[in-house]
Chains A and B, each alone.
Chain A
Amino acid sequence: NAGVTQTPKFQVLKTGQSMTLQCAQDMNHNSMYWYRQDPGMGLRLIYYSASEGTTDKGEVPNGYNVSRLNKREFSLRLESAAPSQTSVYFCASMLEVTGNTQYFGPGTRLTVL
């Protein structure tokens, strides 16, 4: 039981490049989330998926797209990376959207030059 896994762990991009951050969970959770964490800003919600087949915007969705590929996987795509997207990205899952305990992946450290 690996919990929530994320790939890659580290990534450096040039401005304008695109990439997809992958997230998978093996806990049979219905809800999945993408956060970014910047110094002094805490965790800010980018997008979430309450259940398979649905996605919704969070606090800071601009510049990102998501895909809930199946119940296990939730990917985050940066179409044209900008330096302002340099951050640590965390994926999380929760049994139900009405729950209170989120399980986080180890994070992806992204630098955009």
Chain B
Amino acid sequence: GQSLEQPSEVTAVEGAIVQINCTYQTSGFYGLSWYQQHDGGAPTFLSYNALDGLEETGRFSSFLSRSDSYGYLLLQELQMKDSASYFCAVRASNQAGTALIFGKGTTLSVSS
């Protein structure tokens, strides 16, 4: 089966840098994705890593180490609007196809 572990909560102050870790177990790895969800809203795609290394998109970066079954999301120059839940996700496969399986999410609280 598949499982993902990420911290339940992280707190930080405006302007700081925060890292949200994700470890996964999966049979057949197709890449690690990150999604952001504000309170009351829908999840939105942030980034995707299929290969080892760092992917940068503005203030957000995502890292993957396939040998360690580990990845992280790095948020820099934190802003109040970054307060949200962040989910890592992996593609899971079965005989019928593949689907994204999500972790339980990390709630990030940014204070001034």
Identify the A interface with B (CB < 8 A).
33, 35, 40-45, 48, 50, 54, 56, 58-59, 90, 92, 94, 97-98, 100-107
Q: What total count of A-B pairs have CB within 8 Å?
A: 65
* Residue count of chain B within 8 Å CB distance of chain A: 25
Please tell me if B66 contacts chain A, counting CB pairs below 8 Å.
Answer: no
Whether A42 lies near B102 (C-beta < 8 A) is: yes
Chain B nearest CB: distance from A58 CB in Å?
A: 6
In angstroms, Cα B91 to Cα A58, docked, is 12
Overall SS of chain B's interface = strand
Whether B48 lies near A40 (C-beta < 8 A) is: no
Closest to B94 in A: A56
In angstroms, Cα B37 to Cα A107, docked, is 12
Chain A nearest CB: distance from B29 CB in Å?
A: 12
Chain B nearest CB: distance from A37 CB in Å?
A: 9
Q: 7 smallest A-B Cβ distances: which pairs?
A: A42-B104, A50-B97, A56-B96, A104-B42, A43-B102, A100-B48, A48-B99
Closest to A107 in B: B42
